[in-house]
Amino acid sequence: MTIYQELVTDLRSIPDQKYIDFMVECKKIYMKYPGASINNFIKGHLVEHLFVKSVSPYIELESSKKDSPDDPDCVYKKIHLPDVKTKTDGLQTKKNGQFYAREWTLKNPYSSKEVFTTRADSYILIDPTCSKVAVIDSKYFSGLFNNHTSNTCTFKVYKSEVDMIFDGTGKIPIVESIPPISEYDLMEAIFKL
């Protein structure tokens, strides 16, 4: 079994209730920080850290030290480097079972290279609006067209390439409405990141 397969197996071994609890908290984050722009960055940051905090009691996954901008978000079993990504409706499924063609944004610290290069061994994809978690091997992105003018690249994700970890469709309870954060509190939150 490869280290990637071990990660998938370990993530699937976590009880569904833990993912349900995680998704409820994600929905609260999305209500507290509505809209786009800087709120997208904050939502992603909070959801990604909450994910690691939620699953680390069950598997050997911890936040990385992030010594440089190209460091992935996590370390699995001290050797595998997953990066965690969030996307609204990123894993939304059509009637035929395929994903809608929404693109995921990945860090591109090596924009000067001819093809996309990453230090991440895999990506943990979280879609808080569809309540889904999946994992994809970074081999599906490495070597593809590189965006030389940006520190990010966007890629489509295909159902055949991902390993679905949790599908919360119909399992997540209705979350009581939370008022959006005030501008003052938003600035406080930004300074704490």
**Mean model confidence pLDDT for the chain:** 86
Band of residue 28 on the pLDDT scale cut at 50, 70, 90: very high
All structural domains of the chain with their residue ranges: 3-168
- Angular region, 122: left φ>0, alpha ψ -120 to 50, beta rest: beta
Q: In terms of residues, how long is the chain?
A: 193
Which residue's entry shows tokens 């699953």? 55
Band of residue 177 on the pLDDT scale cut at 50, 70, 90: confident
Q: Which CATH class is domain 3-168?
A: alpha beta
pLDDT in tens, 71-101: 788 999 999 999 999 998 989 988 888 888 7
Report the DSSP pairing between strands 82-86 and 122-127. parallel
Burial bucket for residue 170 (CB in 10 Å: 0-12, 13-18, 19+): exposed
Q: What percent of the chain clears pLDDT 90, i.e. is strictly above it?
A: 48
